[in-house]
Amino acid sequence: MRRKPALLGALALALAAAPAPSPGADDVLVDSVGIRLVRVPAGTFVMGSPAGDAFRQDEERPHRVTLTRGFRISATEITQRQWRALMPHDKSPVAGDDLPVTSLSWREAREFCRKLSEKEGAVYRLPTEAEWEYTCRSGGGGPLGPPGTALDATAWFADNSADVPHAVGGKQPTPWGLFDVLGNVAEWTLDAYAPYPGSDALEDPTGPGEGATRVVRGGAFRSFPPALRCAARTGTPESYQLPHVGFRVVRAGER
């Protein structure tokens, strides 16, 4: 029997009210490329959005997700300086060492992760869609994450960006120490784009194994509020190199 939406709504409220596991402000690893990696604990959250959320799309079906393994994720989007440390070409249309790298395909982001894994002797990859939303929420269940989050204070978007990307880390971080998760540039994730599975409870979901269209999350400096929500998702062909899409990385194997 399928779980009723009302029960999922109650679960969302309960999880939002529960104390959020915090990775701690001092639990940051800096690798040899200068990427700051915040530890994210294992946990359970409601992925998607309840029926009453403003701007909600039908594809954002709420369902419970459990991530059984902790991981580290970059506190900011990968910058042009960090990209150039490993990659031969930077096609970002607006240049700046501390600006997020953009105009790269999904496969190029994967290649950066491969080279970084080789350099660091650790497993680096793009975040899964579930990991991305979990870190965006940072223990909160609202559309923007924790209650009281104000979009103008945490994100560069159409209302305040002057239609250009900004240096990473210039806005307020989430409670778990991540910057620009919403806004500035949208971010590639590992998953192929598809409707969520039918189950109302999933463990460590990774999306379809194959697909040429990948999930992009977070909205960008030119986005309006409907795209700047933790649950908002869009599909983008993996070959596209868009001036408003970048990425951040996960370092796997943390518990």
Cα angle 46, 50, 52; round to 5: 155
In the chain, where the domains are located: 5-251
pTM of the model: 0.90
The fold of the 5-251 domain, in CATH, is paralog of FGE (formylglycine-generating enzyme) (3.90.1580)
* pLDDT for the residue numbered 241: 98
Q: Where are the beta strands (DSSP E) in 6-112?
A: 28-30, 36-40, 43-47, 63-67, 71-74
* pLDDT for the residue numbered 49: 95
* pLDDT for the residue numbered 30: 96
46-70: pLDDT as tens digits: 999 998 888 999 999 999 999 999 9
- Of 46, 28, 253, the closest CA to residue 143 belongs to 46
Q: Where are the beta strands (DSSP E) in the chain?
A: 28-30, 36-40, 43-47, 63-67, 71-74, 124-125, 186-192, 201-203, 213-217, 233-237, 245-246, 250-251
* pLDDT for the residue numbered 46: 96
Mean per-residue pLDDT over the chain, rounded: 90
With b meaning 16 or more CB within 10 Å and e meaning fewer, what string describes 44-56?
A: bbbbbbbeeeeeb
pLDDT category of residue 210 using cuts at 50, 70 and 90: confident
- Of 140, 141, 166, the closest CA to residue 155 belongs to 166
pLDDT at 25 over 70: no
User: Which residues, other chains included, contact 252 with Cβ-Cβ below 8 Å and sequence gap of 6+?
Assistant: 69, 71, 122, 123, 124, 125
95-136: pLDDT as tens digits: 999 999 999 999 999 999 999 999 999 999 999 999 999 999
* pLDDT for the residue numbered 52: 86
180 against 207, higher pLDDT: 180
* pLDDT for the residue numbered 199: 86
pLDDT category of residue 22 using cuts at 50, 70 and 90: low
Phi and psi (nearest 5°) for 208? -60, 150
